[in-house]
Structures are given as structure tokens and as C-alpha cells.
Amino acid sequence: MPHYGDFQLGLYLAGIGGEKPPYPVTYDGLEAAARQVLTPEAFAYVAGSAGRELTARANRAAFERWQIVPRLLRGVAQRDLSTEVCGTALPAPIMLAPIGAIGIVHPEAELAVARAAAATGLPMVLTTVAGTPMEDVAAAHAAAEPAGTAWFQLYWPKDRDVALSLVTRAERAGFRAIVVTLDTWALAWRPRDLEHAYLPMLHGIGIANYLSDPAFCAGLRRSPEEDPAAAVLHWAAMFGDPSLTWADLAWLRDRTSLPILVKGVCHPDDARAAIDAGVDGMVVSNHGGRQIDGARPALDCLPEIAQVCAASGDTAVLFDSGIRTGSDIVKAIALGAQAVLLGRPYVYGLAIGGAEGVGHVLRCLLAEFDLTVALSGHSSLKTIDRGVLVGR
């Protein structure tokens, strides 16, 4: 039975004939290669974080404070890394995080990511701020061999009719869950972007789901094709809603049959409020350090949130913010996550190789995760718990 870790053997065998990997196999290598091909504005948008980027660095430091304790002679020749989250089957506990405006990275944008995700069997979470209408991304998933699975991430706009329209479209298109991002009703102070005076959406990049939405277009005097500048300003005026409360989540719960998850939870009381509002799961996240400079590392928040969700009985816990390696995934699973969301690494893969580059990044991560699980003495996710780790 093949395992994801066998991917490294293929790389070594190719080396016999003098062939090296087509793309970097480390995060630092991916970032450096992406910097070479992206415009300064695009690289800053992807790589940057809020303020002095203290939170982004703290996210990584949090992983380094935990160490894996391997166990030996435990019969790991056969391994099963699969799991299920909110009714979606995953061959490994990895999903592709929603990242906006990736059309600045590669012209095929979300369609390339959809093909790569489907090829590896990993679900993609499509962002609201995509350059491709959600129906086209869903069609790309369905047409892939094998067919892929996707969730839809919602940035809740001020216009409730638009919010409901986006969710309804996602459900009709075949997306399997709705992920409501709670921590980005306004954009943080991001110096790298500000130095370039650059926000892709104000250039019309990443707002295809809005421009193709009937409720959004109903608020325009002329169509987006006739007056694109007015459409962009209309988007900017409604992007985030600071007036939202937990009661609004209950409103959404009544209007879709899809599982609802909330993204950005870092406090146990917010986890309890989300559960009371009827959500099916949550993503422990500080937006990869892109929203609050000096925020607590997301990994430090994970055990507390996982404990709250476990007490509720069946609330799913996912994690993002700082995932770079297979050992990172093991640590997140051990601290209570059922799955993780991968962000910047796959975007760098997209920049340097399109769908092929994304696929390379995913196969590298899957291989490293599989090898780390096995070398730690585990053959499934069931035995990866807090006892796997020691703190520094």
C-alpha cells in the first residue's frame, strides 16, 4: 500500500539520472523563488502581515516551543491519515486555506488551485474575494479527475441580501460548508501594502463573486461592465460589517442547510458563543498575523478552544496561522485540531508553477507529514494527542 511519504523516494530516484526537484521543497525556498517572479506589490500582499509583523513571527515561535517525543517499534508499516470534518472526508487532515486576490500571483488563480487540490484529494476553501466566480471554481472541482471537494469562505458584507445571496449561491454550486471569517470586518494596518499604496480589490482584482452576484449588482446604477469604478467603490463600501453580533450567526444558521464554521476564534468565551449560535465548527486563527500586531499566537489558543469544543460534544476544531511543515501539523493535531488549513506555502507554489507548483507543495507537505507521523510511532491520527509533545 503506497503512502504519501513515498513521494520522497521518487525525488531520490530521479536524482540518479541527475534530475532535481522542479520546485523548492522548503518554505524558505518557496518564498525566495516566489519573490523572484512576483511584482513587489504582489509579493508584499502575500508575504506581509500587520504592523511590525510580531504576530506572524510569534505564530512560528509557538510551534518551536513544542517538541515531538517519538515512540519506537509500534508497527507503522500500514498507515491511515484520513479523517472527517463536518461531513467532509479528508485523506489527510489538511485543507487549503481561503486566500484572497490570488489573481495577482498567477493568471489561472483559483482554477489552478482547484485542480491541484482535487489531484491530491485535499479540499479547498474558496474565498469570497476570488478572481473567479464560485460557480466556475465548483465546476473545475467537479470536472477534475478525481473530482474535488470545496468549502466556501464568507466575508460577511454590510448588505445582508448580498450575504445571503453569496451563501445561497455557494450551496447551489455544491460547496460543502460555509466558513465565516469573523476577524476581518476591516483590514489591519499593513505597512508592506501601504508602502506600495496597493490593495488588489481596489484594482478590481478578487471581486468576481461580487460582480457576478445579482444582489450586489442590484445596488449599482449601471452594470460592472459599464462602470467598473463604481462597482469597485460599491464593493469597498460594503466589504465588512462591524455591527455584526453572535445573533447574526443564528440568523445565518436558519438560512442554510450547510455546516457553518467560524474562522478567527482565539478566546474560549467566543468559542462558547459560537456554539450557542449553532455553528458546527471553528477555525482557531489570527489570520496568519495579518490582522492584529502583537496578538497571541494561534497555536497557544488551540488547546483552550479544543477543550470547549470537546465539551460541546461534536463541534469541529480546525487550525491555521503558521503551518509550514509536516511536524507543524502533528503538533496542531496533538493540541486538539482535527485538521489544519495551509496558506502562504501553496500560494508561493502557485506563483512559481501554477497548478503544478501547488501540487508540488501539497505532495511535499503530505510526504513530510506522513513520514513524521510514522517516525513518531503512529499509524493513524487516533493516537496523536497531547502526550505526543513536551513543551520547552
Task: Show which residues are catalytic.
Answer: 287
DSSP H or E segment with residue 143: helix 134-143
> How do strand 339-342 and strand 94-96 relate by DSSP bridges?
parallel
Handedness of CA 296, 298, 303, 308 (dihedral sign): positive
- Convert 248-284 to b/e letters by CB count within 10 Å (16 or more is b): bbeebeeeeebbbbbbbbbebebbbbbbebebbbbbb
Please list, in sequence order, all residues whose beta carbon lies within 8 angstroms of the beta carbon of residue 269, skipping any fewer than 6 positions away.
Answer: none
Handedness of CA 242, 151, 95, 332 (dihedral sign): positive
Q: What are phi and psi of 124, to 5 degrees?
A: -105, 140
Taking the C-alpha atoms of residue 84 and residue 169, their distance in angstroms, rounded to an integer, is 24
In the block, cell 496542531 appears at 332
